[in-house]
Structure 1
Amino acid sequence: MNLRTELTQLIKTRAGELGFSFCGISRARRLDEEASRLEQWLKEGRHGKMAYMENHFDKRLDPRLLVDGARSVVSLLINYYPSAAEKYTSPLKVSKYAWGADYHTVIREKLYVLTGLLQEKAGEFNFRVFTDSAPVLDRAWAVNAGLGWIGNNTMMITRRHGSFFFIAEIITDLEFDYDQPFGGNYCGDCTRCIDACPTGAIIGPRQLDASRCISYLNIELKDEIPAEFNGKVNDWIFGCDICQDVCPWNRFSLANTEVQFSPAGEWVEWSRDAWEHLEKPVFGSVFGKSALKRAGFKKLKNNVTFAGHSFIDESGYGKDSD
């Protein structure tokens, strides 16, 4: 067995032992097939006020510009779907991925353990690890590594267990045995995600107007949420799971086994009143190690206030507050 095959078997075995659900590897190259799609998306302003999406265009397409001598992109998925015992009962909603500890920290630690194990076998090598933290087209690389396809909701979907996964990468100058890209799209003529999006952010199969996405509105957008979305955020104050919750493929989702992704603290049971009276020192102590800190105190409070507008739905009938 040659070293490349040994390293391939090692990284996939160890990744599973560290809690990663899937591991696929593709050759580092320029994603020419994504270039025109990304350019058009930006030109149409679908990224809203996420100006950083306009930066590093070439680096987003070519990992060899991120890591000198890069030969391989290792794509890893880790499940965050909660178990039946993990309940979220607060009337104001937070996306499942943010119930526990900040995934950036949890996953990064695992990636460094994994690269350390590789170094024991291969010696020193050049690499960088990524957890939604750099100009990397994670979903495209996951497809290239054979892990799944881009669904109509623009999420990366696996045939075995749906889409509730974080995606991470190791870009390195090591060579491996490469996986074949995933072939086909298994959404068919299903439009449940498109039909269910209350803000009309999914404008067609695999077409997202991020400027209308609830997750953009309550995390990325630093300005006030536009009045046109009054009554349409459905009580989501951080992120949104609607397009994943309605996806038929997620009936195959399995509970995650990472304890750090379990609900951390009593805030998952907070009443609407508790959210409304949240103060900055409490925000820091409760959410200091959570993904919610990304929004910041002021933004989260504004989201809570804006969610209160949803008491009156489009039909004009009042909604219950709890």
Structure 2
Amino acid sequence: MSMPATTCDTSPDLHALAERIRAWGRELGFQQLGITDTDLTEDEHHLQRWLEAGHHGEMEFMAKHGTRRTRPAELVPGTLRVISVRLDYLPAEVDTAKVLGQPTTAYVSRYATGRDYHKLMRKRLATLAKWIEAEVGPIGYRAFVDSAPVMERALARKAGLGWFGKNAMLLNPRAGSLFFLGELYTDLPLPVDEPFAGDHCGSCSACRTACPTGAIVEDRVVDARACISYLTIELHGAIPERYRAAMGNRVFGCDDCQLVCPFTRFTRLSREADFAPRHELDRASLLSLFAWGEEEFLDKTAGSPIRRIGYARWLRNLAVGLGNAPWSEAVEAALWARLPYPSELVREHVRWALARQREKRQRLIAAG
């Protein structure tokens, strides 16, 4: 819903309303809710430096909206406050560490093994807005879930939901970082929460050490061009060869910097049915996923975050994973079968994977 140029006719007790909004947030299943103003001056400077360094790679959408990303009232005129919410997503049955240690199993980032979170969270934020309107009358609002130029982590930090870890993720001391964020821009002048106080990372640098490609170039600065999540999701072209071996079996996203964070041990398992793994995407083999035809890919990724990368990039990523897998006749045969694929993007990665498999086979022969 767009922000109408309206003013509430009532004069509600805004402090009491804010408390009710928090209670409604819990009722809607959000694990945390905070309220902040729209001043992101410091974060705007940080974003500009990051863009000037080219760390966004091909993500031109990060730069194209100008200050609308960092000045909420420019994106949605009339915005005075932002309601920021957190929704945990880690499903109970996922054995993440085990999958990462199995080179023939495909690793899909834990947020993407179930249904897409965007619609679920937007619907709940819209419900929250309707409940507010039922209390105070018509308001101006607009809900966002990772779908517009919104500084969601910066707003969440200001709303008291957490602090920026050295991997640039938002960390919460009681939940780690395995959660989604959503925002409700509103023209209600609600009382704001205190920004999260302090930085609890201290001297820990586990995330920087664990990053397979060294993408965390400074504390709280990620060069997306080296990040496996960017390479497997946002990058449309060929994955640079210097990063392919480091990708291992990660075929959609990467969670390494989050999984090693000491605060991840406080992550609470999600009870959301939509986030439960589908089609065994939390444990499927590289070969079984590589065997999907395009129709099967479209069918099994319906309602999934994976769908947006398309079939060719899905095969590209899986080819890299198979190139990194131990040698086997089955892997070589599957790669040869894909070599005639119409897309040169896929063929180039298949050729690379075949070369890797031949090298491994030759080493096995030489070893006797």
TM-score range, shorter chain: over 0.9
Within the candidate set 255, 258, 264, 2:269 is matched to 255
State the partner residue of 1:305. 319
State the partner residue of 2:47. 38
2:65 is the alignment partner of 1:51: no
2:75 is the alignment partner of 1:61: no
Kept in 2, the 8 Å contact 1:24–1:146? The answer is yes
2:31 is the alignment partner of 1:17: no
The Cα shift of 1:36 comes to 2.0
Amino acid at match of 1:232: A
Map Cα deviations across residues 223-244 of structure 1 (whole Å, 9 max, x no partner). 0111111211121111111000
State the partner residue of 2:285. 271
Partner Cα distance (2:165, 2:114) in 1: 26
The Cα shift of 1:3 comes to 2.3
Moved more, 2-11 or 174-183: 2-11
2:207 is the alignment partner of 1:193: yes
Within the candidate set 231, 238, 252, 1:217 is matched to 231
Map Cα deviations across residues 94-133 of structure 1 (whole Å, 9 max, x no partner). 0110111101111111111111111111211111111001
Partner Cα distance (2:237, 2:54) in 1: 17
User: Aligned-residue CA RMSD in angstroms?
Assistant: 2.0
Residue 105 of structure 1 aligns to a residue whose secondary structure is: helix
State the partner residue of 2:149. 135
Residue 174 of structure 2 aligns to a residue whose secondary structure is: coil
State the partner residue of 1:119. 133
State the partner residue of 1:243. 257
Residue 282 of structure 2 aligns to a residue whose secondary structure is: helix
Residue 91 of structure 1 aligns to a residue whose secondary structure is: coil
Residue 74 of structure 1 aligns to a residue whose secondary structure is: strand
Kept in 1, the 8 Å contact 2:207–2:261? The answer is yes
Partner Cα distance (1:270, 1:28) in 2: 43
Amino acid at match of 1:26: T
Partner Cα distance (1:75, 1:290) in 2: 24
Residue 303 of structure 1 aligns to a residue whose secondary structure is: helix
TM-score (norm 1): 0.93
Kept in 1, the 8 Å contact 2:90–2:178? The answer is yes
Partner Cα distance (1:201, 1:71) in 2: 36
Residue 245 of structure 2 aligns to a residue whose secondary structure is: coil
Across the two proteins, how many residue pairs are aligned to each other?
Answer: 315
The Cα shift of 1:25 comes to 0.2
Amino acid at match of 1:3: D
Amino acid at match of 1:242: D
Kept in 1, the 8 Å contact 2:34–2:159? The answer is yes
Structure 1 gap ranges (5+) = none
Partner Cα distance (2:314, 2:246) in 1: 17
Kept in 2, the 8 Å contact 1:71–1:173? The answer is yes
2:115 is the alignment partner of 1:101: yes
Partner Cα distance (1:127, 1:26) in 2: 14
Amino acid at match of 1:234: G
Kept in 2, the 8 Å contact 1:67–1:126? The answer is no
Cα 1:141/1:96, change in 2 over 3 Å: same
Kept in 1, the 8 Å contact 2:107–2:283? The answer is no
Amino acid at match of 2:33: C
Residue 295 of structure 1 aligns to a residue whose secondary structure is: helix
Kept in 1, the 8 Å contact 2:50–2:56? The answer is yes
2:310 is the alignment partner of 1:296: yes
Residue 266 of structure 1 aligns to a residue whose secondary structure is: coil
Partner Cα distance (1:267, 1:2) in 2: 48
Amino acid at match of 1:58: T
The Cα shift of 1:245 comes to 0.4
Q: Which has the higher helix share?
A: 2
Kept in 2, the 8 Å contact 1:72–1:175? The answer is yes
The Cα shift of 1:87 comes to 4.8
Residue 122 of structure 2 aligns to a residue whose secondary structure is: helix
Map Cα deviations across residues 44-101 of structure 1 (whole Å, 9 max, x no partner). 1000111111111211111011222111011100000221x34575811101101111
Kept in 2, the 8 Å contact 1:147–1:158? The answer is yes
State the partner residue of 1:206. 220
Amino acid at match of 2:57: G
Residue 201 of structure 2 aligns to a residue whose secondary structure is: coil
The Cα shift of 1:270 comes to 2.5
Partner Cα distance (1:304, 1:66) in 2: 38
Partner Cα distance (2:283, 2:179) in 1: 24
Larger radius of gyration: 2
Amino acid at match of 1:11: I
State the partner residue of 2:343. none
Kept in 2, the 8 Å contact 1:102–1:290? The answer is yes
Kept in 2, the 8 Å contact 1:142–1:148? The answer is yes
